[in-house]
């Protein structure tokens, strides 16, 4: 279905994972579940709800160790291993806890190395055309420092503002990074749009920042829009219809 152009916008901010870059091939929860069963063997008979609760406990506990003012805190393998340890401990696994937590992290490292990030096929062309049309572009991502990755794809110089954080309070769904984008671009947030693929993080962040929210729905996912203020697309090239 053709899109009605969005008028009055001069800047566009983008999420990275699942938006400019192809989404991870496996759901993160399913990978967690697989690895937990793998390292626990016969001891493992946990429900999805028990695993999800243990992951929530681990996230809260590990984040308490993060320096409060370090917006760009980087999680080391040691940090992730601590998180794995909390997950297993919460599930009641106590024997060989350190070895199993380390094994889980090794499995994560291997699967990430086997599935490198790939730029979506139309991403670079869409960004170039938006720049040619006079739009100022930015990045707001719940990732580690993406600048080297963006440089490797030849798109780093297209963005006037790059914000990144995985720290609660700074990362999405908080509006902090998006507001910083607007400030660095010298644009009123009301003149900005934000494109992301996560309806629970990206869309609330955009709305809280005063930006127009655009949800990109990747293949295999479904969305039933219930918000007249939300624009939904399925391919990045649809942005060229929205921003003419």
Q: What percent of the chain has pLDDT over 90?
A: 64
Q: What share of the chain is helix, strand, coil (3-state, %, to 5)?
A: 45, 15, 40
Predicted pLDDT at 75: 83
pLDDT band of 224, cuts 50, 70, 90: low
Q: What is the pLDDT of residue 154?
A: 96
Looking at per-residue confidence, does 35 or 27 come out higher? 35
Give the model's pLDDT for residue 103.
93
> What was the pLDDT predicted at 44?
76
Per-residue pLDDT, 102: 94
- What lies within 8 Å, CB to CB, of 87 at 6+ separation is 32, 36, 51, 54, 55, 57, 58, 104
Say if CB 185 and CB 136 are below 8 A apart. Answer: yes
What's the rounded Cα separation, in Å, for the pair 144 and 166? 7
**Residue predicted with more confidence, 131 or 30:** 131
pLDDT attached to residue 205 = 98
Q: How many angstroms separate the CA atoms of 33 and 17, rounded?
A: 21
Tens-place pLDDT, residues 139-196: 999 988 999 999 999 999 999 999 999 888 899 999 999 999 999 999 999 999 999 9
Q: Give 134's contacts (C-beta < 8 A, 6+ positions apart).
A: 10
Q: Using N-to-C axis directions, what is the helix angle for 28-40 and 97-114, rounded to 10°?
A: 140
pLDDT digits (tens, 9 = 90+) for 111-146: 888 888 899 999 999 999 999 999 999 999 998 899
Beta strands in the chain (DSSP E): 11-14, 136-141, 159-164, 192-196, 212-216, 231-233
Calculate what percentage of the chain has a pLDDT beyond 70: 93
Per the model's pLDDT, the better-predicted residue between 75 and 9 turns out to be 9
Contact 192, 9 (CB under 8 A): yes
The predicted structure's pLDDT at residue 228: 66
Which residues fall within 8 angstroms of residue 46, CB to CB, at 6 or more apart? Answer: 36, 54, 91
Query: For residue 151, what pLDDT is reported?
Result: 97
What mean pLDDT is reported for the chain? 90
Q: What angle do CA 127, 182, 20 make, to 5 degrees?
A: 30
Tokens representing 208 are 């809280």
């Amino acid at each position: 279905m053709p899109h009605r152009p969005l008028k009055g916008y001069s800047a566009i901010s983008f999420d990275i994972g699942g938006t400019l870059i192809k989404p991870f091939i496996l759901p993160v929860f399913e990978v967690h579940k697989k690895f937990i069963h793998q390292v626990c063997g016969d001891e493992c008979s946990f429900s999805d709800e028990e695993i999800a609760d243990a992951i929530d406990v681990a996230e809260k506990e590990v984040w308490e160790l993060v320096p409060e003012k370090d917006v760009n805190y980087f999680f080391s393998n040691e940090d992730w291993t601590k998180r794995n340890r909390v997950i297993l401990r919460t599930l009641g696994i106590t024997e060989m806890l350190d070895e199993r937590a380390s094994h889980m992290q090794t499995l994560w490292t291997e699967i990430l190395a086997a599935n490198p990030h790939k730029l979506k096929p139309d991403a670079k062309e869409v960004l170039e055309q938006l720049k040619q049309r006079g739009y100022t572009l930015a990045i707001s991502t719940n990732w580690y420092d993406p600048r080297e990755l963006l440089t490797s794809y030849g798109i780093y110089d297209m963005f006037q503002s790059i914000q990144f954080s995985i720290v609660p309070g700074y990362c999405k769904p908080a509006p902090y990074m998006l507001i910083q984008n607007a400030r660095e671009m010298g644009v009123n947030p009301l003149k900005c749009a934000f494109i992301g693929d996560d309806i629970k993080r990206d869309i609330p962040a955009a709305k809280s920042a005063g930006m127009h929210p655009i949800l990109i729905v990747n293949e295999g996912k479904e969305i039933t829009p219930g918000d007249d203020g939300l624009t939904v697309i399925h391919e990045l090239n649809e942005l060229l219809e929205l921003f003419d």
